[in-house]
Structure 1
Amino acid sequence: MGFGPLPWMMMGELFAAEVKGVAASSACFLNWVLVFIVTKFFSDLSNAIGIGPTFWLFAVVCVIGIFFVYFLVPETKGKSLEDIQKELNGS
């Protein structure tokens, strides 16, 4: 469970065709950078504060992410790309 698959799902629905290549590359890059950071510092963090608190910290981050997705990520079901772009632009 985590937010790793979220960029893969979202980029096909949110980006226009003319920017989809750059947007997909950017989302992929950011996803792998964040995965690297978590993997690199997990053992240091668990040694510093313990394994239990480390997982609780990750759980808190996931809960914050759930609220972010629920309140800020637009629903795209049944909408055209133009409708999604209007919603993201605040129109």
Structure 2
Amino acid sequence: MTGVAVVAVDRLGRRPLLLGGVSGMVISLFLLGSYYLFLDDLAAIAVAALLLYVGCYQLSFGPIGWLMISEVFPLRLRGRGLSVAVLVNFGANALVTFAFSPLKAWLGAGIVFYVFGVTAILSLFFIFFIVPETKGLTLEEIEAKCL
């Protein structure tokens, strides 16, 4: 799916791939939550939801997140901006990784996946209302558009 994103990103744009991919992630997270709460005898649901999640992530946040952080910072701040963005990205990954087991023990896996699903819905709103489309723009045009 990363290959599909790489081939399609300049034709379709960043925002459509982000919105479509994250929408698929929302569906998969709610399917996973439902599997753990209501459908635990249907393992195929969990497998399908995991495959959907990975595919949609690799179509959206996986490659496009890295692409966009290299585009949206003004040239004079790009080095520091990228450093902070990468730090926040890896910090958030570590937080999710280390918090998952304690949250699962406290709330149960189904609720944790629902919470992740709600977080993904919030990211859809962020993408829709805040993230600029940078398809076909030079770095200078992106800088002028984002400031």
| Shorter-chain TM-score range | 0.7 to 0.9
Identity %: 37
Higher relative contact order at CA 8 Å, sep ≥6: structure 1 or structure 2? Answer: 2
2:71 alignment partner, one of 13, 22, 29: 13
Equivalent residue for 1:35, pick from 78, 86, 93 = 93
Task: State the partner residue of 1:73.
Answer: 131
CA distance in 2, matches of 1:39, 1:80: 36
Could you state the TM-score of these two structures normalised by the residue count of structure 1?
Answer: 0.82
C-alpha contact 1:4 1:31 (8 A) present in aligned 2: no
- Cα distance in 1, alignment partners of residues 70 and 95 from structure 2: 25
Shift of 1:34: 0.4
Give the residue type in structure 1 aligned to 2:128.
Answer: Y
RMSD, aligned α-carbons: 1.9
Change (3 A) 1:86 1:17: closer
Q: Deviations over 1:1-40 (max 9, x none)?
A: 3745554121222123333222211111110000111111
Gaps of 5+ in 2: 1-56
The alpha-carbon deviation at position 53 of structure 1 amounts to 0.5
The number of aligned residues is 89
Q: Where do 1:21-60 residues align within 5 Å?
A: 21-60=79-118
